[in-house]
Amino acid sequence: MTLNGVPRSRMTVTPVEEFLKKPPVGFSVELLGSGYRVHSDAEKSLVLIDDFDSCMGKIVFQNSLGRKVKMQNLWEYTSMRESLLSKRIYLLVCACEEICSASNKKAASEVRVLQQYVVSIDGNDPFIRWQMVKGLDWTISSVAGESYRVDVDLTEPLESWAEKNIHVLSDKPIKTVWTDASFTLKYYSDALFDFPHWFGFSKRKFKLRMT
């Protein structure tokens, strides 16, 4: 599956079951007794997926850095930045249905998972690359020399994709809510008094768009 109107190379959205049955080029899937282990080419793919449970068992991405990537020095940051701007990035997201309690409509809504997807974006695509560079430079210029955290959010393109591609048989409209639609970069400075980080002032977030 692809995002309608967007070149296939820029973003793909694939159900987990389909991804395991027909892995993309550079991936292979090993069947285990309790689930699956997914192998990937680390030279071409940047996998940011934590181990997770599915209806098919536990899924482990062997070469994954995880959804939250920690960096502790300039070399690690530079390496991560180069990967983000040159490789295809893979992330696990969930499409959920928002459920409101009939007995207490003012209570916080709950969500029911409809489908898990593997989303990939091309970090080397000129439009994606430009947004990533702009977002990262803005983050670092804001908290230079300090620890920081930045979330890269894909909610907007996923919502656009859902409007065109998710069809649920129901007698009433269902609003799709996306969870885990971002990944996080955490940089830890060796500054002795890192007050902005301690007080939560060094948190940043930027949104990626596909069009």
pLDDT number for residue 2: 44
pLDDT number for residue 183: 96
Cα of first residue to Cα of last residue in the chain, in angstroms, is 17
For residue 4, tell me if it sits in a domain: no
Distance of CA 190 to the CA centre of its chain: 28
* Burial zone of 187 (CB within 10 Å; 0-12 exposed, 13-18 middle, 19+ buried): buried
For residue 24, tell me if it sits in a domain: yes
Per-residue pLDDT of the chain (211 residues; tens, 9 = 90+): 444 444 457 999 999 999 999 999 999 999 988 899 999 999 999 999 999 988 888 999 999 999 999 988 888 888 999 999 999 999 999 998 876 555 555 555 677 888 999 999 999 999 999 999 999 888 776 555 677 888 999 999 999 888 888 765 455 556 778 999 999 998 876 655 554 555 555 678 899 999 8
Distance of CA 145 to the CA centre of its chain: 26
Domain span at residue 78 reads 11-101+109-207
* Burial zone of 108 (CB within 10 Å; 0-12 exposed, 13-18 middle, 19+ buried): exposed
For residue 176, tell me if it sits in a domain: yes
For residue 6, tell me if it sits in a domain: no
C-alpha torsion sign, points 185, 175, 4, 27: positive
For residue 124, tell me if it sits in a domain: yes
pLDDT number for residue 75: 87
Measured from the Cβ of residue 120, the count of other Cβ atoms closer than 10 Å reads: 21
Q: What is the mean pLDDT of the chain?
A: 83
Q: The tokens 């080029």 sit on which residue?
A: 25
Longest pairwise C-alpha distance within the chain: 59
For residue 95, tell me if it sits in a domain: yes
pLDDT number for residue 145: 63
For residue 146, tell me if it sits in a domain: yes
* Burial zone of 164 (CB within 10 Å; 0-12 exposed, 13-18 middle, 19+ buried): exposed
- Full-model pTM: 0.84
pLDDT number for residue 128: 96
Number of structural domains the chain divides into: 1
